[in-house]
C-alpha cells in the first residue's frame, strides 16, 4: 500500500471563481492535511503575479502516488481552498 501524502494544487479561475483550471503543483509534499493547509498562503505568495487569471486559488489534495496537472481533476476533492484575487 502506497503512503498517503498531501500536495498543493494551484488553480486559475474566471471572475466568479468558476471554470478553474490547473496552473501548477507545488513541489513539496506534506505528511498531514494540517501541514498542507498551513502552507497554502505561502504557495500563493511565491506564485506572485505569474498567472494570468483574475482569481487564483490554492487547494490541498490527498494523493497516494505521483500526480501531474493532467491527473489533477481525478484526484480527491480539495481539503481547503484559499483564494487571492489578482489585481489586474
Closest to 34 measured CA to CA, from 6, 9, 72: 6
> Which of 30-46 are b and which e, b meaning 16 or more Cβ less than 10 Å from the residue's Cβ?
beeeeebbebbeebbee
What are the pLDDT digits (tens) for 18-68?
Answer: 678 888 888 888 999 899 999 998 888 887 667 788 888 888 888 766 666
Lowest mean pLDDT across 1-5, 65-69, 77-81:
77-81
Q: List 4's β-bridge partners, or say none.
A: none
Amino acid at each position: 500500500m502506497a503512503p498517503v501524502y498531501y500536495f498543493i494544487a494551484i488553480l486559475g479561475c474566471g471572475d466568479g471563481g468558476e471554470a478553474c483550471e490547473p496552473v501548477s503543483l507545488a513541489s513539496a509534499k506534506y505528511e498531514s492535511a494540517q501541514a498542507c493547509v498551513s502552507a497554502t498562503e505561502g504557495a500563493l505568495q511565491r506564485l506572485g503575479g505569474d498567472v494570468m487569471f483574475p482569481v487564483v486559488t490554492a487547494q490541498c489534495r490527498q494523493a497516494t502516488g505521483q500526480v501531474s496537472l493532467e491527473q489533477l481533476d481525478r484526484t480527491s476533492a480539495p481539503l481547503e481552498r484559499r483564494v487571492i484575487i489578482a489585481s489586474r
